[in-house]
Structure 1
Amino acid sequence: MPLYKTLSPNSQTTVKIWNITESYEALLQPVKLRDESMARVLGMKSELHQRGFLSVRHLLAEFGYTDADLYYDENGKPHLKDGKYISITHSFTFSGVIVSDTEVGIDIEKQRQKIGVIAHKFIGYEFDYLLNTAEDYINKLTIIWCIKESLYKLFATPGMLFREHFLVIPFMVKDEETIAWIDYNDRKYRYETRFLEFDGFTCAYVC
Structure 2
Amino acid sequence: MALYKSISVNSQTTVKIWKIEESYDDLFSPLDLKTESLSRVLGMKSELHQRGFLSVRHLLRELGYTDRDLFYDDNGKPHLKDGKHISITHSFIFSGVIVSDKEVGIDIEKQRNKIVIIAKKFIEYEFAYLDKKASDYINKLTVIWGIKESLYKLFATPGMLFIEHFLVIPFSIMDAETVCWIDYKGLKKRYTANYLEFEGFTCAYVIE
| TM-score bracket for the superposition, by shorter chain length | over 0.9
Partner-residue secondary structure (3-state), 1:113: coil
Partner-residue secondary structure (3-state), 1:97: strand
**Cα distance, 1:11 vs structure 2:** 1.0
Distance 2:123 2:110 in 1: 18
RMSD: 0.7
Q: TM-score, normalised by structure 2?
A: 0.98
**Cα distance, 1:186 vs structure 2:** 1.3
% identical aligned pairs:
74
Q: TM-score, normalised by structure 1?
A: 0.99
Paired AA for residue 20 in structure 1: I
Partner-residue secondary structure (3-state), 1:126: helix
1:125-164 Cα shifts (integer Å, max 9, x gaps): 0000113662111000000000000000000000000000
Partner-residue secondary structure (3-state), 2:135: helix
1:106-137 Cα shifts (integer Å, max 9, x gaps): 00000000011100000010000113662111
Q: Structure 2, unaligned stretches of length 5 or more?
A: none
Q: Which residue in the other structure is 2:47 paired with?
A: 47
Paired AA for residue 27 in structure 2: L
Distance 1:56 1:93 in 2: 12
Q: Does 1:187 align with 2:187?
A: yes
Q: Which residue in the other structure is 1:79 paired with?
A: 79
Distance 1:203 1:68 in 2: 26
Q: Which residue in the other structure is 2:9 paired with?
A: 9
Q: Structure 1, unaligned stretches of length 5 or more?
A: none
Distance 2:55 2:186 in 1: 39
Distance 1:146 1:18 in 2: 17
Distance 1:118 1:49 in 2: 23
Partner-residue secondary structure (3-state), 2:102: coil
Distance 1:133 1:205 in 2: 26
Q: Which residue in the other structure is 1:115 paired with?
A: 115
Distance 2:45 2:100 in 1: 32
Distance 1:40 1:56 in 2: 14
